[in-house]
Structure 1
Amino acid sequence: MATSLSPPAMGPREWGLLVLLSVLWGGSFFFGKIAVGEWPPLMVVQARCVLAAGALYLVLRARGLDLKVGGAMWRSFFAMGLLNNLIPFCLIFWSQTQLPSGLSAILNATTPVFGVLVAHGFGQGERATPLKLGGVLAGLCGVAILMGPDALAGLSGPLLAQLAGLGAALSYGFSGLYGRRFRDLPPLVTATGQLSATSVMMLPIVLIFAPPWALPLPSLQAAGALVGLALVSTALAYVIFFQIMRRAGATNAMLVTFLIPVSAILLGVGLLGESLLPRHFAGMAAIFAGLALIDGRLFRRLKPSARA
């Protein structure tokens, strides 16, 4: 009897959803770049989380679900909101005040690399395989190529911005490990709960460091970017992501990591007039090679099928 370790097959519908998701999440870097041009990053984070949480709550209620999960689970929502939203969103949006949106997306693509390191160091019984460790090394080489001379120039603005982008990816890596405790909850409840918790945590931060009454009204372009960021690249993207996970499994859903930087670069170049250096594309290629090693399915297909 043959034993298959491969993830569920991806049909045309699943591939279509995956490409759509990459555009939505790639669009978050595009929308964010426009929004931080007029509003401080902290306020952009708050607007994104509040609007997305409200939209997801309406979907939640329409499906007959609620957020009555108990105090212990709400404490977990706050921890998850810190790791998965507050820290990475703030770091990414601040970095976008100094970096092209495409480069921010490439740095964010290192999330699975940090995920392997976090699981290896802190997960129980999750030692990384040689293939995954090779992927980590390739990904880190890609980061070194991306940063290039900036890493030798001292703590300049671009270097700090790139380190912030990597810090966001590291935070996502920890959130991936922490988020496993929500397996028994409907994914939509987890998404709504953590975004609601983030909105609460961000409120005092915004009132102190970016009080709304001291900010100018955003232009129609910036307001549209905020709405797109919250409703399209967060609320709708979460719904599609969880649908892919349910239909094709988490391993297939991870393929979106390969596509997000491509979507972000195309949007940044086509609509914002951004440009990237050749070393940025070389670094992205090394990171993609690392992700392919971490994913492993390409190399499994090169081996003869296992037979019992």
Structure 2
Amino acid sequence: MSMAWWLAGPPLIIAAAAFWGLSGGLSGLLIEHGWAPLLVAFCRGLIGGALILGWWLLAPGRYRRPDWRMLAASAIAGVGVAGNLGFYCISIAHTSVAVAATLLYTAPLYVYLAALVMRTERLRWPRLLALALIILGVVLLTRVFQVDPAKLSWLGILAGLGGGLSYAVFIFGFGQATRYGRPPSVLAIAFAVFVVVLLPLIDIGRAGAALGSADVGLFVALGLAGGGLSFPLYVAGLRDTSPVLASVVAMMEPVTAALFGVGVLGNTLAPLQLVGMALIIGIVTLLSVQRARSQQA
């Protein structure tokens, strides 16, 4: 494999997923400190969007007349990001982190079904098996089967599914947008839409208090990892990766989140969780290597 491969496609998406997993751990810390989940999600997007805006201001050709297709796809991607983070927080509030995460990470299945409908992918049983193993790995890693059914609610379940569907929306949105525009412009528009969508749903006073609190360092780190670094890496990777493969490779996110819990929060992993982690890493590695070999053939 050439060194150029490590600077494009799946490796960039894996790096983005690692930052998303880190941001999940940081979000958990902030929620434990008493900040509302939806407020944490909003601040993540606001700070990340501010960093991306700075990138756009420094990018060459920023005043070039935008393509309307790029504008529309970027806006759709922004709505997808807002729905992904917003629904995920609602699902956590009405179920549990394990349930919300498991429902969220069914996204690769939605992406694959959408690709089949749009005929950008063919029905391939090995790909379906890989998707099934990834979802099994997530189930084992989150231990969702141990959740008390009495703690579940239809609102939480529907919100979790909505988060997964929104994940698929932003994957397709970003994939289309980068065909017609430059990544800085695409991300600047998407995060502007994100802020507009979530702004009516949060307490603006509490948002101001968050950025002036003792936790401001955690909020800045969250915005940097969960927005300012992760999404540029992800969009760059999407330009050289199909939406289906991107959605599968991005499943490295729960692995990173689990490792954050072990290294920072002092959590321990049960044997089944280690099996789930191994499944996810194995499938992601296999598909990434297969793609690299097919490109070199």
- TM-score bracket, shorter-length normalisation: 0.7 to 0.9
For residues 176-202 of structure 1, the C-alpha deviation after alignment (integer angstroms, 9 at most, x for no partner) is 234333111112211111110111111
Corresponding residue for 2:58? 62
Corresponding residue for 1:42? 38
Q: Please state how far the C-alpha of 1:28 moved relative to its aligned partner.
A: 0.9
Corresponding residue for 2:267? 274
Question: What amino acid maps onto 1:237 in structure 2?
Answer: S
Corresponding residue for 1:10? 5
State the identity as a percent.
Answer: 22
Report the Cα distance in structure 1 between the residues aligned to 2:155 and 2:278, rounded to whole angstroms: 23
Alpha carbons of 1:190 and 1:225: their partners in 2 closer, same or farther (altered >3 Å)? same
CA contact (8 A) 1:110 1:287 kept: no
Report the Cα distance in structure 2 between the residues aligned to 1:270 and 1:48, rounded to whole angstroms: 22
Alpha carbons of 1:47 and 1:141: their partners in 2 closer, same or farther (altered >3 Å)? closer
The 5 A counterparts of 1:97-246 are 110-120=106-116, 122-143=117-138, 145=140, 146-150=143-147, 153-154=148-149, 156-157=151-152, 164-165=159-160, 167-182=162-177, 183-206=179-202, 211-213=203-205, 217-218=209-210, 220=213, 222-244=215-237
For residues 10-63 of structure 1, the C-alpha deviation after alignment (integer angstroms, 9 at most, x for no partner) is 348999867754542221111111222322122222222222222211211111
For residues 118-143 of structure 1, the C-alpha deviation after alignment (integer angstroms, 9 at most, x for no partner) is 322x3234233121112223234445
What is the SS of the residue equivalent to 1:49? helix
Q: Which shifted more, 212-221 or 123-132?
A: 212-221
Report the Cα distance in structure 1 between the residues aligned to 2:139 and 2:9, rounded to whole angstroms: 34
Report the Cα distance in structure 1 between the residues aligned to 2:222 and 2:37, rounded to whole angstroms: 13
CA contact (8 A) 1:142 1:287 kept: yes
Give the CA RMSD over aligned residues.
Answer: 4.2
CA contact (8 A) 1:60 1:189 kept: yes
Alpha carbons of 1:245 and 1:26: their partners in 2 closer, same or farther (altered >3 Å)? same
Question: What amino acid maps onto 2:225 in structure 1?
Answer: V
Question: What amino acid maps onto 2:204 in structure 1?
Answer: P
Question: What amino acid maps onto 1:27 in structure 2?
Answer: L
CA contact (8 A) 2:183 2:236 kept: no
Larger Rg: 1
Q: Please state how far the C-alpha of 1:265 moved relative to its aligned partner.
A: 1.7
The 5 A counterparts of 1:295-306 are 295=287, 297-298=289-290
Q: Which shifted more, 28-37 or 18-27?
A: 18-27
Question: What amino acid maps onto 2:118 in structure 1?
Answer: G
Q: Flag structure 1 segments of 5+ consecutive residues without an equivalent.
A: 1-5
Corresponding residue for 2:82? 86
**TM-score (normalised: structure 1):** 0.72
**TM-score (normalised: structure 2):** 0.74
For residues 48-100 of structure 1, the C-alpha deviation after alignment (integer angstroms, 9 at most, x for no partner) is 222222221121111131485376654443322121x1111123334556756
